[in-house]
A and B are shown apart, each in its own frame.
Chain A
């Protein structure tokens, strides 16, 4: 602090050469800003009390006296991280272990994070070793690549653990069937990660708008999409490259395959399985029937086919024989343009429901002019009061063309999910583990969904319309 000497002269009287004694004035000046620190401490204390009180009431309201569930994460990649973040918000989840073959990177990241939250978790590369050693575990949450789901889930169930397993349930129907069988045999719970099944917005629309109010009338057509912009292949920092022997041991040819497994046959199912499975599951759920036929067109239109073995684009039409009558349902996914994102759109003779997990679309219903009034449902708070379509206003000046249908009123569905998307589905799983709920997506549902989705790739390959038989869905 040599430079201070000169400035010193500013405020303090010039000091006699050779230093001087501390006087009262020095001490007072020296301590003059200490009270500010005290004030800070006081304000911070108050702030903490306030935050703790807020958090306390929230947790108490959410949980009461919850029973702990001891959990391991199997697969700590992108989705493993998302699930971990959501689970950290759920009372009573006690992390015990993390298993991931990428010990250098993903495993370490999640272990570090959990330690920061005060969980002393053990880290494993081999899930069998984890199952051998972690006797206290109640449940395993699986977010490994699709082709590992069946072996992982079956072995965890057989080791007596409840399992939450990401979609797609399996990349093969044999795998999915083995999972159903293991769950039935062991009597343990198996929740498949179609998280929209627990999303309050979807539940509200299913129960109240479609079930109770029947706002859409007779649903005749459905459309939906997941459009995703071009994304570069995933890479990995050089120094975290996994040794080849370990890659082979876990079924990957090289790092590119390890990181981009979704695009490879035998490991994943391409965009239709990765993205479409979520939404085709909603078709089935909302229509109350499994599809009877599927025709599809798709191809490797854009990406390097050597490293993208599955179709980057798929356009699909399903036929459904629903209890209310036949339905045609279109679905498309493409990975070269993200416009309009993702949503599902159900169209009946009285109205339309546009719904999405994303807040961009959220959920809206459109009332067709020939529908009975919806005032009752607005009053009940199921939907908001209508917003008149702008097109109607603008067109006033123009001569009305009788061939054009009048634009329907738009009502919003006032249900907003403030938590992470996956939290309600995980919460439902943990509630079921504690015996206070039933699963929203048991393996039987996951299986039916897998049958419908996996057949799309067959239909694209066969270039013809394929039919489903009731036996296809039977277990």
Chain B
């Protein structure tokens, strides 16, 4: 593991992690796209914590809400596909981190905030959102797309272009 190298085993594990997170994003996105009644409004209206006012305000603006809905469902889908394919992996990881951060801040399990949206587990500061965010940080830092993913091809091509161009 000297000079930032990761051995083959850990890289395979991280790639598996990337595909799993990507799968989850993809289905979250697709499930929203295919359900015409889905809107972020419900989630936003139940916002808690220091940013609750902002999220609730957003839910009350029909135009912004419509935009937020589209960005969420298409964004999640795109991030999911890119993560699975290992294409533009870093950009996709950053996008995914952004989404999760927003979800997390909308309903953070901070100390003293008792009930948020009815949850299925017990969380103190760290919830599954945050764990998934951590997973994406690992993916981001490891360059997993270049190890196994379309980034390999992008790279090879870009590398050549860089020389000629």
Which A residues lie at the B interface, using CB under 8 A?
Answer: 1, 3-4, 6-12, 15, 18-22, 26-27, 29-34, 36-37, 40, 44, 48, 85, 88, 105, 108-109, 112-113, 116-118, 237
Q: Which of B66-86 contact A (CB under 8 A)?
A: 66, 81, 84-86
List chain A residues, Cβ under 8 A from B61: 237
Quick one: given A40-B27, A40-B84, A108-B62, are A33 and B15 in contact (CB under 8 Å)? yes
List 12 additional A-B contacts (Cβ < 8 Å) besides A11-B147, A33-B86: A4-B90, A4-B143, A4-B146, A11-B146, A11-B148, A18-B163, A30-B152, A33-B15, A33-B18, A37-B84, A44-B30, A108-B63
Of all chain A residues, the one with the shortest Cβ separation from B153 is A30
List chain A residues, Cβ under 8 A from B134: none
Quick one: given A20-B159, A109-B62, are A26 and B153 in contact (CB under 8 Å)? yes
Q: Does B107 contact A (CB under 8 A)?
A: no
Q: Does B128 contact A (CB under 8 A)?
A: no
Of all chain A residues, the one with the shortest Cβ separation from B161 is A19
Contact A11–B149 (Cβ < 8 Å): no
Contact B84–A32 (Cβ < 8 Å): no
Distance in Å from the Cβ of B11 to the closest Cβ of chain A? 6
Quick one: given A19-B156, A117-B36, are A32 and B148 in contact (CB under 8 Å)? yes
Distance in Å from the Cβ of A81 to the closest Cβ of chain B? 10
Q: Which of B13-39 contact A (CB under 8 A)?
A: 15, 18-19, 22-23, 26-27, 30, 34, 36-37, 39
Distance in Å from the Cβ of A25 to the closest Cβ of chain B? 9
- Alpha-carbon separation in the docked complex, A11 to B26 (Å): 27
Contact A37–B85 (Cβ < 8 Å): yes
Distance in Å from the Cβ of A41 to the closest Cβ of chain B? 10
* 13 interchain pairs, CB-CB under 8 A: A4-B151, A8-B143, A9-B5, A11-B146, A19-B160, A19-B162, A26-B152, A26-B156, A33-B19, A37-B81, A44-B27, A113-B37, A116-B37
List chain A residues, Cβ under 8 A from B156: 19-22, 26
- Alpha-carbon separation in the docked complex, A15 to B157 (Å): 12
- Alpha-carbon separation in the docked complex, A10 to B161 (Å): 22
Contact A10–B90 (Cβ < 8 Å): no
Q: Does B113 contact A (CB under 8 A)?
A: no
Which B residues lie at the A interface, using CB under 8 A?
Answer: 4-6, 8, 11, 15, 18-19, 22-23, 26-27, 30, 34, 36-37, 39, 57, 60-63, 66, 81, 84-86, 88, 90-91, 142-143, 145-163
List chain A residues, Cβ under 8 A from B18: 33
Contact B85–A33 (Cβ < 8 Å): yes
List chain B residues, Cβ under 8 A from A32: 15, 148-149
Contact B37–A29 (Cβ < 8 Å): no
List chain B residues, Cβ under 8 A from A36: 19, 22-23, 84
List chain B residues, Cβ under 8 A from A85: 37
- Alpha-carbon separation in the docked complex, A30 to B154 (Å): 9
Contact B23–A7 (Cβ < 8 Å): no
List chain B residues, Cβ under 8 A from A29: 147-149, 152
- Alpha-carbon separation in the docked complex, A40 to B26 (Å): 9
Contact A27–B153 (Cβ < 8 Å): yes
Contact A10–B4 (Cβ < 8 Å): yes
List chain A residues, Cβ under 8 A from B86: 30, 33
- Alpha-carbon separation in the docked complex, A8 to B11 (Å): 12
Contact A10–B5 (Cβ < 8 Å): yes
8 shortest A-B CB distances, which residue pairs?
A7-B143, A19-B159, A19-B160, A30-B153, A30-B152, A11-B147, A18-B163, A32-B148
Contact A12–B146 (Cβ < 8 Å): yes
Contact B143–A30 (Cβ < 8 Å): no
Distance in Å from the Cβ of A232 to the closest Cβ of chain B? 13
Quick one: given A4-B155, A30-B149, A34-B85, are A20 and B160 in contact (CB under 8 Å)? yes
Of B143, B149, B162, the most chain A CB neighbours within 10 A belong to B143
List chain B residues, Cβ under 8 A from A8: 143, 146, 155
- Alpha-carbon separation in the docked complex, A113 to B36 (Å): 8
Distance in Å from the Cβ of B31 to the closest Cβ of chain A? 9
Distance in Å from the Cβ of A216 to the closest Cβ of chain B? 36
Contact B66–A112 (Cβ < 8 Å): yes
- Alpha-carbon separation in the docked complex, A298 to B57 (Å): 36
Of all chain B residues, the one with the shortest Cβ separation from A9 is B5
Distance in Å from the Cβ of A68 to the closest Cβ of chain B? 18
List chain B residues, Cβ under 8 A from A112: 62, 66
List chain B residues, Cβ under 8 A from A7: 4, 142-143, 146
- Alpha-carbon separation in the docked complex, A292 to B132 (Å): 66
List chain A residues, Cβ under 8 A from B19: 33, 36
Distance in Å from the Cβ of B96 to the closest Cβ of chain A? 16
Distance in Å from the Cβ of A82 to the closest Cβ of chain B? 13
Quick one: given A10-B143, A33-B148, A117-B36, are A1 and B30 in contact (CB under 8 Å)? no
- Alpha-carbon separation in the docked complex, A105 to B142 (Å): 47
- Alpha-carbon separation in the docked complex, A30 to B156 (Å): 10
- Contact pick for A10, options B6, B66, B149, B150, CB 8 Å: B6
